[in-house]
Amino acid sequence: MTDMFFPVAKIAWFIVQPSSILLLLLLLGIALLWTRFARAGRWIALAAAVLLLVAGLSPLGNLLILPLEERFSRPEFTEGEAPAGIIVLGGAQDTLVSTGRNVIAINEAGERIVEAVALARRFPDARIVFTGGTNQLIYESETEAENAKTFFDQLGVASDRLLLEDQARDTYENARLTRELVNPKPGERWLLVTSANHMPRAMGCFRAAGFDVEAWPVDYRTRGRQDAWRFFDKPSEGLRRMDKAMREWVGLLVYRITGRTNELLPQP
């Protein structure tokens, strides 16, 4: 079941993400215009077009992502409270471009890796764990862990501080495989670095895996609550924001139903 979860989830989300559903509705409405259901087709096409504009330009995407981003905040550290280690979740690299161009290609979530380097310098005795395999279904590429090692090396993070987990394909596997790799000792403090909107699901997975970590959110997409009513100037941006937010909300629900987490919406 675990082996099938990743491909099934990947394909299902491609179909049911909000932008895909609205586009399919629009195409259905247009197709019906040349049938005896032309009137219904006009209404479906019109509704889909209006919903695409609303989703693309209205603050809906921000309203959906804000509760996720506001859920966890960073802990305070005083002298003598340095963490034992820093865990960085994959998802910040375009491994297809990296493989094809033989470069390190960071995507819009690249702050995960950049912040990890900053934390490595702030806490020089902390171990750095990067977890990320490949999330490709069709194309072949290097794992994120391979590329991350090169990135850390180039930015001066000593290789003897690095632990690389290169098999995980999703957040559940990130948590389970990292727990097995690290085998944390009681009382150790570990930081978890991932995008703020993804942090609730990530924390739920690590808790279910028996790994007590502290959230260190990065890659915020909003300024805060003042963005709850901020409109988008490009429909594509609003749709992307809505898709990203809904992916996390749906992911939280599916992970809870399938037993991958113990809480529907993990809290601090």
Q: What is the pLDDT of residues 98-129, one digit of tens each?
A: 888 888 888 899 999 999 999 999 999 999 99
Burial (CB count within 10 angstroms: exposed 0-12, middle 13-18, buried 19+), residue 215: buried
150: left (phi over 0), alpha (psi -120 to 50) or beta: alpha
CATH of domain 85-218: 3.40.50.620
Q: How far apart are CA 147 and CA 169, in angstroms?
A: 15
Angle formed at CA 47 by CA 41 and CA 53, multiple of 5 degrees: 135
User: Is residue 136 very low, low, confident or very high in pLDDT (cuts 50, 70, 90)?
Assistant: low
Q: What is the pLDDT of residues 49-83, one digit of tens each?
A: 999 999 999 999 999 999 999 999 999 887 668 89
Taking residues 201-212, what's their average pLDDT?
A: 97
Where in the sequence of the chain do the CATH 3.40.50.620 domains occur?
85-218
Contact in structure between 9 and 201 (CB atoms under 8 Å) = no
Q: How far apart are CA 42 and CA 26, in angstroms?
A: 9
- Round the average pLDDT of the chain to a whole number and report it: 92
pTM above 0.85, yes or no: yes
